[in-house]
Chain A
Amino acid sequence: MFSTLSKILIDGISMGTIFLFGCVGEILTEKAGNLNLGIPGIMCIGALGGSYGVMLYTNGVTDMSTISGFWLVLTAIFFSMLFSAAAGLIYAFLTVSLKANQNVTGLALTTFGVGFMKFFAKRIDMSHFVEASKYFKNLFPFSSKLGWFGEIFLSHGVLVYLAIAVAILSSLLLNRTRTGLYLRAVGENPATADAVGINISKYKYGFIVLGSAIAGLGGLYYVMDKTAGTTLAEAPIDSFGWLAVALVIATMWKPTVAIFGSILFGALSMLAIDLKALSFSDLKIFEMFPYIITVLVLILTSIFGKKDIQPPASLGQSYFREDR
C-alpha cells in the first residue's frame, strides 16, 4: 500500500514538473494581463532549443563520461530559455506593440511552435541524448540510501528542483516585491498603473518574455529527464502545454499552489500505470480529471465571485492609452 502511494507521489512530481514550468510561466504572463495561448507552442520550442544545446555540447564527443555534467545542463537550460524567450518576444511584439488579438496570436504561435519543433527535431543528432540525460536525472545520488524520504523527495533530476525553486521565487516576486506589485497593477488595471507612471509596455514585454523562457524549460525537462532523451519529434508536448494553461486556472494564479496542483495533475495522469488494477480505459477517465477540476474551479469562482481569486481583470485586452 505504502509503496503504491509513494510511487504515485514520485510519478506525480516527475510528471507534474512539465506542467509546473508551463504554469508558472503562464501565471507571470497572465499577471501582466496577457492570456498567452501560445504556451504549448513555446514549450515545444523550448524543448527543441534545449535539445539543440545538448546536441552542441555532445557533438563529436566520444566518451560521454568525460564531459562536465554541470556545463551540459547549463548549456541546455540556456538554449531552451533563449529559444522560448525569442518565441515569447514574437507574441509580445504582436500583442503589446501591435495590439493584436491575444487569442488569435497565441493560437498562431502554438501552430508555429509545434511545427517548428517537429520539423527541426528531425535535424537534431540525438545519438548522445540517452547518456546525456543521466546528467539531468537524479541530482542526489545518495537519495536511495535515505529510505522512503529520499526516494520520494530526493530522487529527482535537477530540473524538478529548479521548477519548484522558480515557483517559489515567482511567488515571492509577485507578493513581496515592488516589481511584483507593479506587475499585478498592470494586469489588473493598466489605466491606473499608467496614471501613476508605471511603464506598461516594459512590464508586459518583460514578463511575457520571462514567462515564455520559464515555460520552455518544461519542454526541455520532458525530453531530457522524463523520457531520458529518447523522445523529441513525437513528444506530445503541446498537449502538456494545454494542461499547463488549465493548471493556471485550477491553482487560481498562485505559483505556490501550482507546485501542489502540478503534482496532483501529474499523479492523475500517471495513476493508471501506478495502480495496475486499472484498465486502459479507466486510465483515460483519470486523465480527464485535471480538465474537469479546472472547469469546476472556473465555474465556482465565477458563481461565488470572490474577488481575490478572479483572473487578472484586464486579461485578454490590449491597452491603448486613448481608450481611457
Chain B
Amino acid sequence: MTTEKTKNEPLFHVSKRDHMSHKNVLLVRLAGILVALVICGIMSVILIHENPFKIYATLVKGAFIDVWTLMKDTAVLLMFGLAVIPAFKMKFWNMGANGQVLVGCLVAIACMKFLTGVLPDAVIIILMIVTSILAGIIWAVIPAIFKAFFGTNETLFTLMMNYIAIGIVAYFSFAWDKSGSGNIGIVNLLTHKAWFPDIGNKYVLIIIVALLVDAFMFVYMRYTKHGFETALVGDSVNTAKYVGINVKKVIIRTLVLSGAICGIMGAIFAGSLEHTVNTQICGSKGFTAILVAWLANFDPLIMIATAFFVVFLNTGAANVSTVFQLKSTDYANIVIGIIFFCVIGSEFFIQYRIKPSQRMKDIMTKKNGASIKELFFTSKSRSAVKPLIVILAIGLELLIIAVIATIVIKTVV
C-alpha cells in the first residue's frame, strides 16, 4: 500500500509560503529581471546583429541624454501610479486612471479656453485646478458607488469609463475646433495666458508636485486613520466590519482620493505640460502605472524607483531603436513587456514554496525502485514536472510549426 502511494505521489509539493525575507524577495525579483535582460539581449542580437553589451550600453546612455525629460516622464508616471495605489491597497482594481486624468484635463482646458480674458489669470488657474480635481473625483467615484452598494465589478467598470472619457474628449476636440480637424491645438499659444507659471523650466512643477503627492501618500497610507481603514478593508472586510468600519464609506472615500490625484495630473497636463487636450495625452500610462504600482508592492516610496526603472527602460530602448535604425520606437514596449513577464512570473517563487517530494528524492538517489525515467514517462499525471514539460513542448511545437510552415511556403511559392 505504501509503495502504491509513493508511486502516485507528485514529484514536487507546492505550498503557500507565508513569508520570505526582504532580501530574498529582492533577489528573486532581480533574478527575474536578469532572465528578462538575457531574453531581450538574445532578441536584440538577432534583430540588430550587434554585441549585446553594446546595445545595453546604448540603452543606458540613451536614457540619460535628456535628464529633464527622463525626470518629467518619471514624475508623470509616478502620479498615475499614486492615483491607483490607495484603491489597490483596498483590493479595488482601478483601471480607470487614464479616464480620470482625461476628464480633469478636459475641464481644465475648457476653463482656460473660455475664461481667458473674462477672469483674471490667477482666478482661472485656481478654477482649472479645482474643476479638474472635481471632474477626476466624479469619474472615479461613479464606479466606487456602484461597487460599494451593488458589488458591480470595478475592473470592467473603470476600464469602460476610460473609453467614455476618450469619447467625450474626442467630441469636444471636434466641437471646439472650427477647422474640423479634430485637434484643438495649443490653447493661448501666443499669449501664454492662464498657463501655470514656469519654475525654472516647465518640467519642475510636475516633478515637485509628484514628489509632494508621493510624500503625502506615503504618510497617508502609513500614518493616518484613513489610510489604516483603507488597508484594513483590503486585508479583511469581515474584520473591518467587526471593528465598526463603514466599508462603503471607505471605498468611496478612497476613490475620491484616487480621482483627486488624477484631477491634479489632468490640471498639470492642461496648464503646464501640454496646454491642450486630446485622446492621446495619457497614452497607456494608466495601465503602465498599474504594473509599476504592482511592481512596487503598492508602496509609494518604492514606486519612485519602479516608475523610474520603467521610464528609464522606455527612453533607453527608444534610443537603441534610433541609434541602430530599427525604424520604430516600439522596441521599448517589447523590452518592457518581456521584463514584466519575467517579474510577474518570478512572483510565483515568492508566494509559493516548491519542495521535492519523497518520490523525487528517491528518483534522485535511485531508491525504492525509482528511476530517472519517471521524470518524463509516467502513467499518472504528476503535478509539477509534467505540466512544465507540456508547456515547453507546446511552445517549442508552435515555434517549430512556424519555422517549418515558413520554409514550406517559401519553397512552394
Contacts and interface: CB of A to CB of B under 8 A. Distances in A.
Q: Do chains A and B touch in the complex (CB under 8 A)?
A: yes
Interface of A: 35, 37, 53, 56-61, 67, 75, 78-79, 82-83, 85-86, 89-90, 93-94, 97-101, 103-105, 107-116, 118-119, 121-123, 199, 201, 205, 209, 233, 239, 242-243, 245-246, 249, 279-285, 287-288, 291-292, 294-295, 298-299, 302-303, 311, 316, 320, 322-323
A119 B330 CA distance: 5
Contacts of A299: 146, 150, 152, 157
Contact of A103 (B93, B402, B406): B93
SS class, residues of chain A in contact with chain B: helix
Contact of A61 (B394, B401, B413): B413
A199 B394 CA distance: 18
Give 5 nearest A-B pairs by CB, closest first: A115-B333, A112-B337, A288-B167, A281-B174, A108-B340
28 contacts: A53-B409, A56-B409, A56-B410, A56-B413, A75-B405, A82-B401, A94-B345, A101-B347, A105-B341, A107-B287, A107-B290, A107-B291, A108-B337, A111-B336, A119-B326, A119-B333, A122-B327, A245-B159, A246-B160, A246-B163, A288-B171, A291-B161, A298-B156, A299-B146, A299-B152, A302-B152, A316-B155, A322-B15
B409 A82 contact: no
A61 B410 CA distance: 11
B76 to A, nearest CB: 17
B352 interface: yes
Most buried by B among A57, A98, A320: A98
Interface string B346-390: 011001100000000000000000000000000001000001100
A295 B175 CA distance: 25
A35 B159 CA distance: 13
B155 A35 contact: yes
Contacts of B164: 288, 291-292, 295
B71 interface: no
A279 B174 contact: yes
Contact of A242 (B163, B338, B340): B163
Contacts of A245: 156, 159
A112 B333 contact: yes
Contacts of B171: 281-282, 284-285, 288
Contacts of B170: 284, 287
B190 interface: no
B410 A99 contact: no
Contacts of A83: 402
A98 B328 contact: no
A82 B155 CA distance: 29
A280 B180 contact: yes
Most buried by A among B175, B287, B290, B337: B337
SS class, residues of chain B in contact with chain A: helix
A111 B413 contact: no
Size bracket, chain B contacts: 35 or more
Most buried by B among A243, A292, A302: A302
B34 interface: no
A323 B330 CA distance: 40
Contacts of B30: none
A253 to B, nearest CB: 12
B218 interface: no
A200 to B, nearest CB: 11
Contacts of A209: 394
Contact of B341 (A82, A112, A287): A112
B87 to A, nearest CB: 12
A302 B405 contact: no
B95 interface: yes
B102 interface: no
A308 to B, nearest CB: 16
Most buried by A among B160, B284, B406: B160
Nearest to A282: B171
B337 A295 contact: no
